Structures are given as C-alpha cells and as structure tokens.
C-alpha cells in the first residue's frame, strides 16, 4: 500500500531484529550550499514488530506532529539550522557548527529533559574562551526560541538559557600571545612561501582570518592602497583597511591569480577556513616552532601600533573595533591617509 505524500514512510531493517519495521517522517531539509544539494531531515517515529504497527505509529504521530516529547536536541538542531543557515553568513554558520560540536554528550536527550546543569557542565568543562561560549549561549537561545514558537518546548526551557554562566569558564580566554619581532623576521625571511604570505597579510592589516578569506578582488584598490571589508562578524568590522607599503608586493602576488577572491586555494577557489587552518596554518606553525592562532596576528598589529604611539581611534578604525562613545564612534572621521601613515610606521 502506497502511503500518501507527506505522510511519512515505513521500511524494514536488515538482519534479525525484534522490531524490524521503522517509521520515519521528513521534518525539514539540510542545505549543502557548497554542493548545491539538499538532504532530508528525518524524524524517526519508532521501531515496530510489524509493518501494520509501524503505519499505525506513524499515523498517531501525524495526528500530533509537534508533540513535545518527540524531539531530541539533535533533531531540533537539524530542523532549526536548516532554516537559520539560509539567512546568515558563512562565518556565522561555521560559528554555529563549532558550538554544536560541544553538544555531543546531550544531543540525543529530549529537549525538555535538558536542564541548566547539563548546559553549565558543558560550559565549565569545555576549556573554551568567553567569546566562543557566548556563541554557544546565543545558539541555544535561538534554538529554544524556535522550539517554543513551534510548540516543541515549553517557555521555561527558553528562559533557563539566560541563567547560563559563561563568564568564569576560562578566565584566560582573552589572553593572546603576540608574534615576537624574531618570529616576524622569520616569516619575512620565508616570505616566498604563499602560506607565510597570508600570515604576513594578517600581521600588517589586522583583519580576522574569516574577513581575509572572504575578500574579493573587486574590493581591493591597489592604486590607493586599501581594501574594503564588506563581510564581518560585527557592524564596526565593515571598514576600509590600509595596505602597508611592505606588503604591497604580497598583495600584488595574490592579485595576479585568476580568481575572484584575493586569497585562493590551489584550485583558485575560495579558501575554507577549516582547510586553511588545518592544512596550512598549522604546518607553518610546526615548521617554525611557533604556537600561535590566527587571531594572534590581529592582536600583534594592535600591540605594535600602540607601541608606536598611534592614536587609539585610528587603531580601532583599522581593525574594526567599535568606539567607546558617541563622539568616537559617530563623529570622529578617520581618513585613509591617517591610517596609511599609521600602518607604515611598521617595518
């Protein structure tokens, strides 16, 4: 008997099983934007001894598809993320996926059985810094918002998220280790290596690695020595970044490649951060005995400019930090020339 469209499906599992008949229903779709494909998200309703009982179980589920007891955290994540990822940037998607990796121990739990202590334990044992855990907390808030709106969870579950303490998990989370002068010299001594070139760009622009990998050639003005960051994790991150004289040859090298992106992989496509970090960044760090993360380059630029007595407002304008007050963030206009003068104090 053919089941109606949208009703769900039942099928028999292989092997000897006490309950070989599985009932499932498509509850959403996961989009693979890179490969331009979509994959169904299934809700597995149950396992039954006979096909008839599986169909009956599926029928009961269809009568109340939003039954609160039906959804695990993993099912909620799949359903929510398939919608959320349609309207956010690639860097935001990567941040959500990184946060989701912390949920391994609770992903099969019923969403209404998850308590604050479960989430707090993840936070306290994650060894992640505060910005990372802030993304984790935001992700759960958005997921439970979705669950409450769709009557999958009770409102008190959404309310518990605000009590999640992310401030004490890793007090050293903001600590950054700047590149030393000796390390920077080592990189310059090996600047014919394209992987090293990328690190030098980070060191002399202060851009986040995600911002650099998203940078298109159309946003680079070589004649006037600047590029525009048009995609960033913050509003203040949308900015004009000066190109220091010392890295112009490096920018010119990458600009000569036949790719829409300034920085590209060996196939002239955009670098994905995970591939870049795992294969290229880590290999350079190991090769030269360094222990830095990409964000250390940003911190290094800020420290070097501050040591050169550059006005804090100019530094913030270069790296995309928000101003502290209305005067600084709105009324103070930092010219490109002032930023070029600042960045060219570095050698």
What Rg, from alpha-carbon coordinates, does the chain have?
A: 25
What pLDDT was estimated at residue 169?
Answer: 47
Cβ neighbours around 236 below 10 Å, total: 15
The highest-confidence range among 43-47, 90-94, 161-165, 339-343, by mean pLDDT, is 339-343
The total number of structural domains in the chain stands at 3
What φ, ψ does residue 3 adopt, rounded to 5°? -80, 150
Co-location of 59 and 128 in the same domain: no
Tell whether the model's pLDDT for residue 18 goes beyond 90: no
Co-location of 275 and 148 in the same domain: no
Quick one: average pLDDT of 195-215?
A: 95
Co-location of 219 and 330 in the same domain: yes
Tell whether the model's pLDDT for residue 329 goes beyond 50: no
Q: Indicate which CATH number applies to the domain containing 258.
A: 1.10.443.10
Share of the chain above pLDDT 90, in %: 41
| CB-based burial, 11-41: b 16+ in 10 Å, e otherwise | eeeeeeeeebbbbbbebbeeeeeeeeeeeeb
Co-location of 124 and 211 in the same domain: no
Interacting residues of 228 by C-beta distance below 8 A, sequence separation 6+: 219, 239, 240, 241
284-294 pLDDT tens trace: 999 999 999 99
Co-location of 35 and 139 in the same domain: no
Contact 147, 76 (CB under 8 A): yes
Q: Indicate which CATH number applies to the domain containing 122.
A: 1.10.150.130
What pLDDT was estimated at residue 325?
Answer: 40
What pLDDT was estimated at residue 326?
Answer: 34
What pLDDT was estimated at residue 34?
Answer: 64
Quick one: average pLDDT of 56-81?
A: 75
Co-location of 185 and 323 in the same domain: yes
CA–CA gap between residue 191 and residue 113 (Å, rounded): 54
Co-location of 90 and 194 in the same domain: no
The mean pLDDT of the chain is 85
Domain boundary among 121, 143, 173: 173
Co-location of 72 and 39 in the same domain: no
Co-location of 153 and 302 in the same domain: no
For the beta sheet containing 9-12, the strands, ordered from the edge strand earlier in sequence to the opposite edge, are: 9-12, 21-32, 37-48
Tell whether the model's pLDDT for residue 337 goes beyond 70: yes
Co-location of 290 and 199 in the same domain: yes
What pLDDT was estimated at residue 275?
Answer: 86
What pLDDT was estimated at residue 172?
Answer: 44
Domain that holds residue 96: 68-173
What φ, ψ does residue 290 adopt, rounded to 5°? -105, 160
Co-location of 146 and 222 in the same domain: no
What pLDDT was estimated at residue 71?
Answer: 73
117-165 pLDDT tens trace: 889 989 888 888 888 889 999 999 999 998 888 777 878 888 889 888 8
Contact 45, 7 (CB under 8 A): no
Name the residue with tokens 């099912």. Answer: 75
Quick one: average pLDDT of 217-237?
A: 87
Domain boundary among 49, 65, 81: 65
Domain boundary among 121, 142, 173: 173
The highest-confidence range among 71-75, 308-312, 332-336, 340-344, by mean pLDDT, is 340-344
Co-location of 193 and 315 in the same domain: yes
């Amino acid at each position: 008997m053919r089941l109606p469209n949208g009703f769900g499906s039942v099928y028999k599992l292989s092997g000897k099983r006490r309950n070989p008949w599985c009932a499932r229903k498509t509850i959403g779709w996961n989009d693979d934007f890179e490969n331009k494909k979509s994959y169904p998200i299934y809700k597995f309703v149950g396992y039954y001894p006979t096909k008839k009982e599986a169909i009956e179980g599926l029928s009961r589920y269809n009568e109340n598809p939003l039954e609160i007891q039906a959804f695990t955290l993993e099912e909620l994540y799949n359903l929510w993320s398939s919608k959320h990822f349609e309207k956010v940037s690639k860097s935001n998607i990567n941040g959500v996926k990184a946060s989701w990796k912390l949920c391994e121990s609770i992903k099969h739990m019923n969403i209404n059985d998850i308590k604050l202590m479960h989430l707090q334990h993840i936070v306290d044992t994650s060894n992640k810094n505060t910005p990372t855990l802030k993304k984790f907390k935001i992700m759960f808030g958005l997921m439970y918002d979705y669950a409450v709106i769709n009557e999958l969870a009770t409102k008190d579950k959404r309310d518990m998220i605000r009590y999640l303490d992310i401030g004490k998990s890793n007090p050293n989370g903001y600590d950054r280790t700047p590149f030393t002068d000796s390390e920077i010299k080592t990189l310059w001594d090996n600047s014919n290596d394209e992987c090293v070139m990328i690190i030098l760009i980070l060191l002399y622009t202060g851009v986040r690695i995600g911002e650099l990998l998203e940078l298109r050639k159309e946003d680079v003005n070589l004649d006037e020595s600047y590029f525009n960051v048009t995609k960033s994790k913050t509003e203040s991150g949308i900015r004009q970044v000066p190109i220091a004289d010392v890295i112009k040859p490096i920018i010119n090298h990458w600009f000569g490649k036949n790719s829409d992106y300034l920085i590209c992989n060996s196939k002239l496509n955009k670098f994905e951060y995970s591939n870049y970090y795992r294969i290229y960044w880590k290999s350079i760090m190991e090769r030269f005995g360094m222990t830095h993360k990409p964000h250390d380059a940003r911190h290094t630029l800020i420290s070097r400019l501050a040591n050169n007595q550059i006005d804090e407002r100019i530094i913030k304008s270069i790296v995309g930090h928000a101003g502290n007050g209305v005067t600084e963030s709105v009324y103070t206009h930092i010219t490109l020339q002032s930023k070029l003068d600042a960045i060219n104090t570095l050698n």
